[in-house]
């Protein structure tokens, strides 16, 4: 699942899978903030000065989150 991910130093990794899926398999060092929680409370979790890599298992939800957060001015890498 994580083959090919090359995260730059200093990038914060956020896994938006549900808690069960996160516990079963996640990228080392990733923080779990489930999709709904992140989208409803992004201001509580994110800082516009930081850079984030956001992922989920399929990539569909993370693409949506990346688009929204980038539009809102957050630094998102894909």
* 31 vs 60: CA distance, rounded Å: 18
Question: What was the pLDDT predicted at 1?
Answer: 43
The answer to whether 15 and 26 are in contact (CB under 8 A) is yes
* 6 vs 32: CA distance, rounded Å: 19
Question: What was the pLDDT predicted at 5?
Answer: 53
Model confidence pTM above 0.85: yes
Edge-to-edge strands of the sheet including 51-55? Answer: 31-32, 12-15, 51-55, 75-77
Question: What was the pLDDT predicted at 6?
Answer: 58
The CATH homologous superfamily of the domain defined by 12-77: Rhodanese-like domain (3.40.250.10)
Phi, then psi, of 8 in degrees rounded to 5: -70, 150
- Where the chain has pLDDT below 70, the residues are 1-7
């Amino acid at each position: 699942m994580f083959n090919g991910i090359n995260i730059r130093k200093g990038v914060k990794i956020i896994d938006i899978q549900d808690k069960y899926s996160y516990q079963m398999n996640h990228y080392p060092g990733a923080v779990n903030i489930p999709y709904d929680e992140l989208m409803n409370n992004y201001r509580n979790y994110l800082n516009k000065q930081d850079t984030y890599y956001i992922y989920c298992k399929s990539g569909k939800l993370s693409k949506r989150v990346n688009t929204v957060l980038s539009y809102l001015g957050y630094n998102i890498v894909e």
